[in-house]
Structure 1
Amino acid sequence: MRSTIQNYLAELRGKRVAVIGIGVSNTPLIKMLLRAGVKVTACDKRQRADFGGQAEELESLGAELHLGLDYLEGLDQEIIFRTPGLRPDVPQLLAAQERGSVITSEMEVFFKVCPCRIIAVTGSDGKTTTTTIIAELLKAAGYNVYVGGNIGRPLLPDVSGMESGDIAVLELSSFQLMTMDRSPDVAVVTNVAPNHLDVHKSMEEYIDAKKNIFLHQTPNGRLVLNQDNEITRAFAAQARGSVTMFSRRETLEHGIFLRDGAIFARRDGQERPVLYLEHILLPGDHNVENYMAAIGAVDGLVPDQVIRDFAAKFTGVEHRIELVRTLKGVKYYNDSIASSPSRTIAGLRSFTQKVILIAGGYDKHIPFDVLGPEVVEHVKALVLTGATADKIRQAVEKAPGYDAQVLPIQTYDDFDQAVLAAHALAQPGDVVLMSPACASFDKFRNFMERGAAFKKIIYALE
């Protein structure tokens, strides 16, 4: 039974609340709590000078700030909102729990009080594009849609305006899912591959976090899974509701599959072509899979013709194989979202020609062995930068068929120099692809900032 946001806020009045992380996702939460008369301590490891006027604004609204490297010390509030990037088992949170604190998050509370249906997407790759496709299809079909979670904006402050007929569409990361005890009405898992092993203690923990998107569903829930991914295929055995598989490789008795250049849906022995591949504007097999996952989620909610009309004009999400510019016959693509080898492999396979690849970045301690052979097959010149440059180089040089004369590799410590070096290598007709296979945190705050930096350099070329 879902509570209401009014009831939840009423329960918090008179209690002391801590919100860890004063970032994009938590700032609206802090303000909502303060407006409701809740005593809030906002904690962040950054220093006061890093916030500009935001610190004074929050204090003027009644917040107490706890900033600096010791921001987690002394937590003893009754309710503590954890930022997704903070593990739930850090010593300070465990100590607070032992003292009686309740650890929660903005997303966990949203699931508790949301009055409408929830469709949520997780996976190692394709989350944002799939989430966006689902949301836009529902909008095109006439639904009032709220988009949030790992993209969009925090939705908890919007709950009071939601109606039962609306639909919330969420992208959920493994960090958000780790402690979830509720699941959406429709859960989508695009795929699972090694990722974020710099934060997760093991691959098993990462997989278990992903499972939380469906483990708490009711028998009325729907779970959409990738049949072609060994890990997600195995999730079906633990499903509590109905399961819809999608496959690019197999014809399914029940589910979404590819045949004769079209995406088909088959249920109860009846099949129909939903979307022809020639009508999909986005390049790459991975985007075909994104559409298949989205169709599995909205089947029965969105007419097929709406899906066809949308696919014929949707150009994609920023930083995801985004065509930035064509200059002197060279096409420059920004795929900054590719923070894992599997994501970069999908990007490389999107092109029919060999590309000039810019890769490397923050080290998440995931192997690059699978990337090496793909680079040998799909790349004509490799430009490396960032903390993982040497690891990627070693993976490529060890790959079968590698020839230094055929595939030159250059390494630059500076990101700008790497981009300019790729530009210098390009000839008319070439494709330059920035698809790092790594997170951005060694040089940038996030993948969006990295993508924006790349685009700025490309736009400045003459």
Structure 2
Amino acid sequence: MKLAEYIGAIKSKRIAVLGIGVSNTPLIELLLQSGCSVTACDKSAREKLGGTAEALEQKGAVLRLGVDYLKDLDADIIFRTPGLRPDLPELLDAVRRGAVLTSEMEVFFDVCPCRIIGVTGSDGKTTTTTIIAKLLAAEGYTVHLGGNIGTPLLTRADTMKESDIAVIELSSFQLMTMEKSPWVSVVTNLTPNHLDMHRDMTEYVEAKRNILRYQSRDDIAVLNLDYEIIRDFAASVKGEARFFSRMGRVENGVCLEGNTIYAVKDGKIEPVMDASEIFLPGVHNIENFMAAFAAVRGLVTYETCRRVAGEFGGVEHRCQLVRTLRGVRYYNDSIASSPTRTIAGLRAFDQKVILIAGGKDKGVPFDILGPEILARVKTLVLTGMTAEKIKAAVLNAPGYDGSLEIIEKADFTEAVLAASAAAKDGDVVFLSPASTSFDRFKNFEERGNTYIEIVNGLE
């Protein structure tokens, strides 16, 4: 089915779009331009939406805003925003009354004319997704990059050709209700995450498993063999299973032995490149590149893999070098919303750093972060709602002797300034919060941009 055909089929329906955000605003505009009747719903007050509210009304949307935006929801088709649970009582009531609950991403899978490579995991999703897209583009393919990475693709589906490739990042929230899987499905890793939204770890894992659940024998699964949970996924793979590992040889896929990345297929092992040639620092980025290499095998040459790996400078807000001032390097890792992500960032440096951490709690334990901070941090600056939990993880870590300097600041700006004041020539100041941004920022991009602004204002 083409996008125009889908819209034609729903044109006479009453449509509600839940969430007026990055992924849904273009969808609302597309539906309105096509003559559909659309009610745009959001828990935010009108003033918080700024000019977006008036712009959508001028285009014909009916707005339902504020805390009761889901009350007595009456529509034939409901588009759910990814961060909204599908089993909310208001949504279940609407479905019982006959409404169809869907999402921008689910419809994209229905109308996309080209092959889809999807990436999910707890950490490394965005970087791996971006690397795959860059590898394919460097090889000459027309690539459409989007999904949870920040770019909705549904509105562009009619411009895509069968020979193109869509590369999409998929969150657990998007995957929860998916009933289709990509041609190539990549699972980077799995650790406790988003437990403030998911009922428990089991629900989170099952949401991730959905990326594989609907594949066919003609499809490909790329799995991280170093995680036991992901190894369990292998039994349910219907098509080709490709693995990647930095711990040992794989039967089919990509592995790291010594400092060399190898590709393995049909019992043959071939060197791809030396891991030291990867421009991005950190073992986690070696894993990201191995996942990407496995995903594009047969599509991209090893020469292209080596060239892209040696040039790719990373994605904004992910171990991003902001500036060097008086010998101090300032890095922005605002994307790090979990302890495991912060640990990966800390391990990317060959020296102890000044760490700025803390934000909104999402229900994951910080125990594993404490020992890493003791081993890899010279000064810890804490701010935000999780400051006390991170501090407790450090104080309770084996080997804590009271020598680590811990600075606590309620204000984010003051925290950055305190980190800068503690830094000397040769130091690294590293924003890697291990928590989400929603205690004081709209998203991790706003948090990262605020950090960049503060750092660039230092004299």
**TM-score (normalizing by structure 1):** 0.98
Partner of 1:5: 3
My pick for the range that moved more, 67-76 or 387-396, is: 67-76
Q: Structure 1: how far apart are the matches of 2:94 and 2:246?
A: 47
Taking structure 1 as reference, are residues 152 and 86 closer, same or farther at Cα in structure 2, changes over 3 Å only? closer
2:208 matched residue in structure 1: 210
Q: Distance in 2 between matches of 1:252 and 1:53?
A: 53
- Please tell me whether residue 243 in structure 1 is matched to residue 245 in structure 2: no
Q: Quick check: 1:448 aligned with 2:435?
A: no
Q: Post-superposition shift, 1:70? A: 0.9
Q: Which residue of 2 aligns with 1:459?
A: 456
Alpha-carbon offset, residue 232 of structure 1: 1.1
1:8 partner SS:
helix
Aligned residues: CA RMSD? 0.9
Q: CA deviation at 1:208?
A: 0.4
| CA offset digits 1:249-305 (Å, max 9, x no partner) | 111222210123221111001221112212100000000000000001001001111
The corresponding residue for 2:151 is 153
Paired AA for residue 434 in structure 1: L
Q: How does 1:22-171 map to 2 (within 5 A)?
A: 22-171=20-169
Is contact 2:23-2:150 (8 Å) kept?
no
Q: Deviation string for 1:223-247 (max 9, x for gaps)? A: 0000011111111011111110100
How far did residue 54 of structure 1 move?
2.0
Q: How far is 1:50 from its partner?
A: 2.2
CA distance in 2, matches of 1:307, 1:176: 29
Name which of structure 1's ranges 444-453 and 42-51 shifts more when overlaid on structure 2: 42-51
CA distance in 2, matches of 1:50, 1:422: 32
- 1:222 matched to 2:220? The reply is yes
**Letter of the aligned partner of 1:259 in structure 2?**
E
Aligned mates of 2:53, 2:392 — CA distance in 1: 46
**Distance of 2:307 and 2:243 partners within structure 1:** 24
| Whole-angstrom distance in 2 between the partners of 1:255 and 1:53 | 49
Whole-Å separation in 2 of the counterparts to 1:312 and 1:203: 37
Aligned equivalents of 1:128 and 1:153: distance in 2? 12
1:21-420 alignment runs, 5 A limit: 21-405=19-403, 407-420=404-417
User: Which has the higher mean CA deviation after the structures are superposed, 217-226 or 396-405?
Assistant: 396-405
Distance of 1:52 and 1:354 partners within structure 2: 43
Q: Deviations over 1:111-168 (max 9, x none)?
A: 0110000000000000000000000111111011101110142111111111100000
- Which secondary structure state, in structure 2, belongs to the residue aligned with residue 213 of structure 1? helix
Q: Is the CA contact (8 Å cut-off) linking 2:119 and 2:129 kept in structure 1?
A: yes
Percent identity over paired residues: 60
Aligned-partner SS, 2:254: strand
Question: Counterpart of 1:212 in structure 2: which amino acid?
Answer: N
Cα deviation, 1:81-139, whole Å, max 9, x if unaligned, reads 00001000111000001101000000000001100000000000000000000001111
Q: How far has the Cα of 1:326 moved from its partner?
A: 0.8
TM (norm. structure 2) is 0.99
The runs of 5 or more residues in structure 2 that have no matched partner are none
Aligned partner of 2:423 in structure 1 is 426
SS at match of 2:256: strand
- Cα shift readout 1:431-461 (whole Å, capped 9, x = no counterpart): 1111110001111111111111111111111
Paired with 1:253 and 1:85, the residues of 2 have a C-alpha distance of 37
SS at match of 1:243: strand
* Secondary structure of the corresponding residue to residue 311 of structure 2: coil
Q: Is the 8 A contact 2:22 2:150 kept in 1?
A: no
Q: Secondary structure at the match of 2:421?
A: helix
Displacement, 1:308? 0.8
Q: Which amino acid aligns with 1:380?
A: K
CA distance in structure 2 between the aligned counterparts of 1:39 and 1:276, rounded to whole angstroms: 56
The structural deviation recorded for 1:57 is 1.9
